[in-house]
Structure 1
Amino acid sequence: MEKLYHLFTIALVLLYWALVAGVTLRVVLKRRAVSVSLAWLMIIYIIPIVGVMCYFLFGELNLGRKRAERAKDMLSPFRQWFAKLNKCHAHAPENFGRHIYRIDELCNNRLDLPALSGNTLSLQSTPSSITQSILFDIETATSSIRMVFYIWHPGGAADNVAAALIQAAERGVKVKLLLDSAGSKNFFRSKWPKKMRRAGIEVVQALQVNAWRIFLRRLDLRQHRKIIVIDERIAYTGSMNMVDPACFKQDTDLGQWIDIMVRITGPTVNVLSAIHCWDWEVETGSRSLPPIPECGFDQTKTQHPVQVVPSGPGMPAYLISQVLTLAINQANHSVTITTPYFVPSSDLLATLKMTAQRGIKVELIIPHKNDSLMVQWASRAFYAELLEAGIIIHEFYGGLLHTKSVVIDKEFCLIGTVNLDMRSLWLNFEITLAVDDQKFTNSLNSLHKRYIEQSHPVNKAKWLQRGLRYRFLERLFYLFNPLL
């Protein structure tokens, strides 16, 4: 019996060694950032069995076989649709400003997706103004409404929007609602899906969480976009989920979530509609591309060019990350960034530091308290080298600052759904707008100033004197960078 036990132990050790060796080789042979590979190796060796399981669950971009095949087949027809926009009068690169010109080149070469002029944009920065505007546009809709959100949380103003969608469907408006399965789990447990489907609304769970398939698809790959398209003439995107901040996560001491949305009219609306169609087809297999927009506009007026930048599985890799880096590298005077989750890649960190070191004023506005303790500590692991490079860090005390935006030289901006972490930049379905509109950028810059007024700057001298316990927690959670 003792000999059998001894042989069994040896077999388990050999099996474990083979498993760890195999995973190690897989990590090393995958082409990705060296820092990510090293972080995974440390997790695997520091917490061996759990680390190996985490790698199988979260270590590789795995959309699932059916979705992956579908996304691969979709790329060509969607690129053909995007390419037709280059023939529109709204694509006039000779009139573009210097910031968006290079971004148009990048997105056109990688996805055939051009920047388009002739848009109007409105920045909405309070929950009441956002929901009232959305409700008004839903109530006046006549033909179609498309929506995709990461979180739909029942309660308050979100219920008003749900009721308005049901009324729209009952008067003949075709409504398609795509919600992330994990982010909107409370919605799918509520009364609303059944009521909506009964009214004729198509409600679809994106990336449905299934305990039986956890090793066949990466669970933390999420549908993180926020898009509304109404009658192919009005669109919204930004950082706000379909929630009422007064009813959302009120059991924490973070305060209300602080968000923005952009209301858009013009040719860019149809591009955002096409992105919704992409997401819908990835999930359902059903294709319904929107019409090519009417691109005629008065070229004597302000152009308002906007570049839609999508990312996610099936699309060109790291496109939003490249656009962000390109925009920051073009800065001549200032860069101001707001993000709730700041866990940058080594490349983005180097770009921010270099920008500050060449004399550009770089300001980072992030929440003082975060809904993810791991992210909060991991973010602070970067403070010392950011401060050393001359970057100004503002910690926001007015709630959970959830706005994701960048203002370059007070004349150009990026705004959308993307956090400055590797999950958003490398993994999730995301959307960003690059906006070359001075009036709109002035509005966003003014909003940044109000955020800074509700923030405290991190003092470099005091930060460097923080205790050993804080340094240990920062470095500990930094190791989990790939999971954040």
Structure 2
Amino acid sequence: MELTNKYVILIIYNIFNYSVICGYWGLTILVTIRVLLKRRTVPSFMAWLLMIYTLPLIGIITYLLFGEPNLGKKRLTKSKIVWSSSIFHINKLKNYYKNIFPKQKSDIASSVFTLCKHRQGIGALQGNQIQLFNKIDDTLISLIQDIELAQHRIDMIFYIWEPGGLVDYISKKLIIAAQRGVKCRLILDSVGCINFFNSSYPKILQQAGINIVKALHISLLHIFLRRMDLRQHRKMILIDSHIAYTGSMNMVDPNLFKKHIGIGEWIDIMLRIDGPVTSAMGIIFAFDWEMETGEHIMPLLLNTPYLTTKKNLIPKSTKNQHTIQIIPSGPGFPEGIIHQVLITLLYKAQKQLIITTPYLIPSDDLLYALCSAAQRGVKVHIIIPQNNDSILVNWASRAFFSELLDAGVFIHQFQTGLLHVKSISIDQKISLIGTVNLDIRSLWLNFEITLLIDSKSFSNDLNKIQQDYIAHSKLIDPKVWANRPYWKQIVERLFYLLSPLL
């Protein structure tokens, strides 16, 4: 009897083992097929297969969590419906105000404007005034003044909202604005704003009548149905119908934010815009708001100082007015549009390219475009922080240095803080400023916003700031870099294998 029991236990044990092994390899095969069916770059494909087969189970779970830019079927369907509504507002804007679309464009920007108009339904808009802030304190002081003057709406989207310092003063001003009848709405990323949501501020602001939405809420119930690291990365403020702010700045006080990690003060750029492009930004906010809440809000398209109900009316003053192309990106928007715009512009550069980015993990196409520009005589300068807040990205970025340096690209490492600015100036004619980093996450995954500005005067202003960054940076010597220790080269290559996943 005892032998029979042992025999039964042995059979059950063997069946269990075979079931686990078969189940594991069955799941591995299914995930492999899914990797094969998804159109992706060869390096990304190989990186995922390497992880799946070298890290048993961990690789499979990682792919299910982060392998695809998946919003979930319901949300994806909803995004298509909401975007159809957005197209209606875009057409309404075009039909009413044909005069705000520029007839004169620079040779570099012309084809990109056409590309954006074809892919997203709206091209560039003229008649905008821009203030460029390169200090967060100045941005926040200007914002406080605009909040005090607001009459109808204040809409904001931020990836990070960190209580403390000047940010608390912004919160108080929003409360006062709401109490006098201004409609205030905040869309805040659930991960980036975790400290905010764990503070007392959400309750205080909501009690004052301010609507707060937690964007892309993380739920264990949806952990394998929606990609959890897909984030709302836009930074955007809209006040009434004609003032907008956007750029690289999160809602943080730089004197307090992340001081404990020891990399210095965060350096950012923000734009204050007064003009027609704010109507297009309002359409983007309305899209994001409806996606998160289901509430349809009407963008304020008709009540700006530049636009009236009379057709073909243009601003009387043309001094310091700029043409701007707004480029939103992320799931639900034209796929890969910002990547397509960047590639087009890099190949159009003739004399000079200056790029600032905190995270440098370019796609193969972007890498080749940068190298090609340098090899055909364009002076290509890339400014990155000496150290940033991501160790993984810090090492992975360095894997691209050798190829860039060999092509003649100048790489500058900013020494006095974390340079968080995302900007590109091309031939001192056009500029790009926004929230997009030169990495896979920003280019293909997150919700982002970029402004393409066709203006020599603005480009000159941006160029002065970028030159100041270069003056506070250390230029990497190609010979010294080539002789760095082998262990560093090995670590860089290991992280390079993971670069398509970062």
TM-score per shorter chain, which class?
over 0.9
* Preserved contact between residue 405 and residue 413 of structure 1 (Cα < 8 Å): yes
Q: Does 1:451 align with 2:460?
A: no
SS in 1 for 2:130: strand
Q: Does 1:415 align with 2:415?
A: no
Provide Cα deviations, 1:409-448, integer angstroms capped at 9, x if missing partner. 0121000000000110001100000001222111110000
What's the counterpart of residue 108 of structure 1? 117
Q: Does 1:154 align with 2:163?
A: yes
Q: Does 1:473 align with 2:481?
A: no
Aligned partner letter, 1:73: I
Residue 301 of structure 1 deviates from its aligned partner by: 5.1
Question: Which one of 81, 84, 87 corresponds to residue 92 of structure 2?
Answer: 84
* Preserved contact between residue 71 and residue 226 of structure 2 (Cα < 8 Å): yes
Aligned partner letter, 2:68: E
SS in 2 for 1:297: coil
Distance 2:314 2:272 in 1: 20
Deviates more, 1:351-360 or 1:364-373: 351-360
SS in 2 for 1:287: coil
SS in 1 for 2:259: coil
Distance 2:135 2:415 in 1: 17
SS in 2 for 1:94: coil
What's the counterpart of residue 123 of structure 1? 132
What's the counterpart of residue 404 of structure 1? 422
* Preserved contact between residue 417 and residue 431 of structure 1 (Cα < 8 Å): yes
Q: Does 1:35 align with 2:53?
A: no
What's the counterpart of residue 180 of structure 1? 189
Distance 2:236 2:291 in 1: 16
Distance 1:235 1:303 in 2: 15
Q: Does 1:18 align with 2:36?
A: no
Deviates more, 1:37-46 or 1:333-342: 37-46
Provide Cα deviations, 1:48-104, integer angstroms capped at 9, x if missing partner. 211110100000111123322210111222123223333424444421112221121
Count of aligned positions:
484
Question: Which one of 270, 283, 286 corresponds to residue 274 of structure 1?
Answer: 283
Aligned partner letter, 1:310: P
SS in 2 for 1:45: helix
Residue 316 of structure 1 deviates from its aligned partner by: 0.6
Instruction: Give percent identity, aligned residues only.
Output: 48
Distance 1:301 1:258 in 2: 29
Question: Which one of 66, 91, 109 corresponds to residue 58 of structure 1?
Answer: 66
Structure 1 residues 163 and 302, CA gap change in structure 2 (3 angstroms) = closer
Unaligned runs of 5+ in 1: none
Distance 1:143 1:91 in 2: 24
What's the counterpart of residue 301 of structure 2? 292
* Preserved contact between residue 277 and residue 287 of structure 1 (Cα < 8 Å): yes
Distance 1:329 1:93 in 2: 23
* Preserved contact between residue 85 and residue 91 of structure 1 (Cα < 8 Å): no
Residue 300 of structure 1 deviates from its aligned partner by: 6.0
SS in 1 for 2:232: coil
Question: Which one of 61, 72, 75 corresponds to residue 80 of structure 2?
Answer: 72
Residue 30 of structure 1 deviates from its aligned partner by: 0.6
Aligned partner letter, 1:4: I
SS in 2 for 1:305: strand
Residue 322 of structure 1 deviates from its aligned partner by: 1.0
Distance 1:300 1:231 in 2: 22
Residue 374 of structure 1 deviates from its aligned partner by: 0.2
SS in 2 for 1:8: helix
Deviates more, 1:120-129 or 1:82-91: 82-91
Deviates more, 1:33-42 or 1:122-131: 33-42
Question: Which one of 441, 450, 455 corresponds to residue 432 of structure 1?
Answer: 450
What's the counterpart of residue 13 of structure 2? 5
SS in 2 for 1:217: coil
Deviates more, 1:237-246 or 1:341-350: 341-350
Distance 1:355 1:44 in 2: 36
Residue 348 of structure 1 deviates from its aligned partner by: 1.0
Cα root mean square deviation, aligned: 1.4
Residue 41 of structure 1 deviates from its aligned partner by: 1.0
Residue 5 of structure 1 deviates from its aligned partner by: 2.3
Q: List aligned pairs for 1:361-376, cutoff 5 A.
A: 361-376=379-394
Aligned partner letter, 1:96: K
What's the counterpart of residue 328 of structure 2? 310
Structure 1 residues 37 and 299, CA gap change in structure 2 (3 angstroms) = farther
Distance 1:90 1:24 in 2: 53
Deviates more, 1:114-123 or 1:7-16: 7-16
Residue 106 of structure 1 deviates from its aligned partner by: 0.7
What's the counterpart of residue 49 of structure 1? 57
Deviates more, 1:259-268 or 1:211-220: 211-220
Question: Which one of 232, 236, 242 corresponds to residue 227 of structure 1?
Answer: 236
TM normalised by structure 1 equals 0.97
Q: Does 1:132 align with 2:141?
A: yes
Residue 302 of structure 1 deviates from its aligned partner by: 5.8
Structure 1 residue runs of 4 or more that deviate by more than 4 Å after TM superposition: 299-303
* Preserved contact between residue 91 and residue 114 of structure 1 (Cα < 8 Å): no
What's the counterpart of residue 4 of structure 2? none
Residue 46 of structure 1 deviates from its aligned partner by: 2.1
Aligned partner letter, 2:173: A
* Preserved contact between residue 118 and residue 267 of structure 1 (Cα < 8 Å): yes
Distance 1:399 1:303 in 2: 33
SS in 2 for 1:178: strand
The higher radius of gyration belongs to 2
Question: Which one of 99, 104, 114 corresponds to residue 108 of structure 2?
Answer: 99
Aligned partner letter, 1:328: L
Aligned partner letter, 2:409: I
Residue 25 of structure 1 deviates from its aligned partner by: 1.1
Distance 2:176 2:329 in 1: 33
Aligned partner letter, 1:287: H
SS in 2 for 1:263: strand
Deviates more, 1:30-39 or 1:227-236: 30-39
Question: Which one of 337, 349, 354 corresponds to residue 319 of structure 1?
Answer: 337
